[in-house]
Amino acid sequence: MNSVSSLITAPNLSQSNRQMKIYIRLQIIFILSIFCLQLLLDNSNDLNLQKQFIPFNRTLGFNHIYIIHLKNRIDRRERLEEISSYLGLDFDYFPAISKNDKQILSRYGSADMNLQQKACYLSHYFLYKQIIDKGYNSVLILEDDADFELNITAVIADIYRDLPASWDMLYLGHCFEGIGELVGKSSPVHRLHKSMFPMCTHAYAVSYSGVRKLIDLIDPVIPRGTVDYSISVVIEEKNVSSYSIHPQLIVQWKDHSDISGSLDLFFNLLNSTSRFLGY
Ligand SMILES: *[C@@H]1O[C@H](CO)[C@@H](O)[C@H](O)[C@H]1NC(C)=O
Ligand SMILES: *[C@@H]1O[C@H](CO)[C@@H](O)[C@H](O)[C@H]1NC(C)=O
Ligand SMILES: *[C@@H]1O[C@H](CO)[C@@H](O)[C@H](O)[C@H]1NC(C)=O
Ligand SMILES: *[C@@H]1O[C@H](CO)[C@@H](O)[C@H](O)[C@H]1NC(C)=O
């Protein structure tokens, strides 16, 4: 026998029954309001948590991390796997177009590019199409020679606080990039700046709006030059809203023997993950 329903439907309520009924109603109201309050708090907690913790996940807060990778470069893959397990990151390897894929290469414009540069252009462009297909909102794109600042996760967490919501591109690594206007200063050493003319494509992130724009603006049928140059031109024209981190968080890994003289400092990390892991 359900005592609550019998109380509520009883035709002649005694004084104590009436009190009981009011008491039950008050309790229901009380429980409901606690529940609503909980929902509200939960929601705001979620939002805060999201803002705080996104960058600490296995894709540095982006939806996905792709590495453009030629599958015969097993040495590069091995180094990257070690880095990913040390830094706790998930890499997804995207098959690069090779300079030997003559058939594919011949279908696109040349703009004085050699086969290697053309293959690089198409690898990036085909990846943009995949990003659209998958519906990702933000993706970090790396090339397979990438080396990482050891505390990249902590720095990116800081950088997120400065990154405007309307970003199209974010360069974590670049070559010959000037130092543009400062945007915030959340991190003690690494700072976010507006991009000037960032060359190289070894480490940049794209938002959904960014990748849509790149698909239209750097069509490989009518290239303006190499892929990094073509992207920099549309950034300089202000058709793409781009930011660069200085000093870089990701550089192109070079064996000790490859490194030459004064460019050393310019292209080096403060604390290289590859070197830390004994490479
Ligand atoms: C990291 O956070 C982003 C943003 O919330 C999310 O899209 C991505 O799937 C997360 N990565 C992992 C590996 O959970
Ligand atoms: C990251 O590491 C560099 C070099 O060790 C250091 O100068 C910088 O303060 C660190 N940044 C953060 C956010 O931990
Ligand atoms: C890009 O910007 C330039 C000038 O900054 C403008 O003339 C051009 O039409 C723009 N291109 C597109 C596709 O929006
Ligand atoms: C790099 O970071 C590691 C781990 O925090 C530390 O042990 C090492 O001394 C650092 N090296 C340099 C050159 O700062």
164 and 255 housed in the same domain: yes
Mean pLDDT of all residues in 111-136: 96
Q: How far is CA 178 from CA 53, 99, 192, 240, in A?
A: 31, 31, 12, 17
User: Which atom of ligand 1 is found nearest the CA of 57?
Assistant: 1
Give the predicted TM-score (pTM) of the model: 0.81
Q: Give nearest CA residue, ligand 1 atom 9.
A: 63
CA of 216 to the centre of ligand 3 (A): 12
Instruction: Write the CATH number for 197.
Output: 3.90.550
pLDDT at residue 108 tops 60: yes
32 and 116 housed in the same domain: no
How far is Cα 117 from Cα 125, in angstroms, rounded to an integer?
12
Domain housing 12: 3-51
Mean pLDDT of all residues in 253-275: 68
Q: What are the residues facing 269 on neighbouring strands?
A: none
| pLDDT tens, residue by residue, 44-92 | 444 444 444 456 899 999 999 999 999 999 999 999 999 999 999 999 9
212 lines ligand 3 (CB under 6 A): no
Residue that wins the pLDDT comparison between 73 and 259: 73
Residue that wins the pLDDT comparison between 6 and 149: 149
Mean pLDDT of all residues in 133-150: 97
Q: How would you classify the pairing of strands 92-95 and 64-69?
A: parallel
**How many CB atoms are closer than 10 A to CB 90?**
11
pLDDT at residue 257 tops 80: no
65 and 131 housed in the same domain: yes
Q: Give nearest CA residue, ligand 1 atom 2.
A: 61
Q: Give the per-residue pLDDT at 259.
A: 44
Q: Is 143 exposed, middle or buried (0-12, 13-18, 19+ CB in 10 A)?
A: buried
* DSSP-based three-state secondary structure for 254: coil
25 and 107 housed in the same domain: no
Q: Give the per-residue pLDDT at 12.
A: 52
CA of 47 to the centre of ligand 3 (A): 37
Domain total of the chain: 2
Q: What are the residues facing 252 on neighbouring strands?
A: 146
pLDDT at residue 11 tops 50: no
94 and 151 housed in the same domain: yes
The model's confidence at residue 25, banded by pLDDT at 50, 70 and 90, is confident
Those residues whose C-beta lies under 8 Å from the C-beta of residue 54, and which sit 6 or more positions away, are 61, 160
How far is Cα 170 from Cα 160, in angstroms, rounded to an integer?
10
Q: Cα-Cα-Cα-Cα dihedral of 23, 29, 35, 36, to 10°?
A: -160
101 and 142 housed in the same domain: yes
Determine which helix (DSSP H) or strand (DSSP E) holds 246, and give its type and residue range.
strand 242-246
Q: Give the per-residue pLDDT at 8.
A: 45
| pLDDT tens, residue by residue, 228-254 | 999 999 999 999 999 999 999 999 997
- Encode 45-66: b = buried (16+ Cβ within 10 Å), e = exposed: eeeeeeeeebbeeebbbbbbbb
79 and 204 housed in the same domain: yes
14 and 105 housed in the same domain: no
3-state secondary structure 167-219: CCEEECCCECCCCCCECCCCCCCCEEEECCCCECCCEEEEEHHHHHHHHHHCC
How far is Cα 249 from Cα 228, in angstroms, rounded to an integer?
18
Q: What is the mean pLDDT of the chain?
A: 85
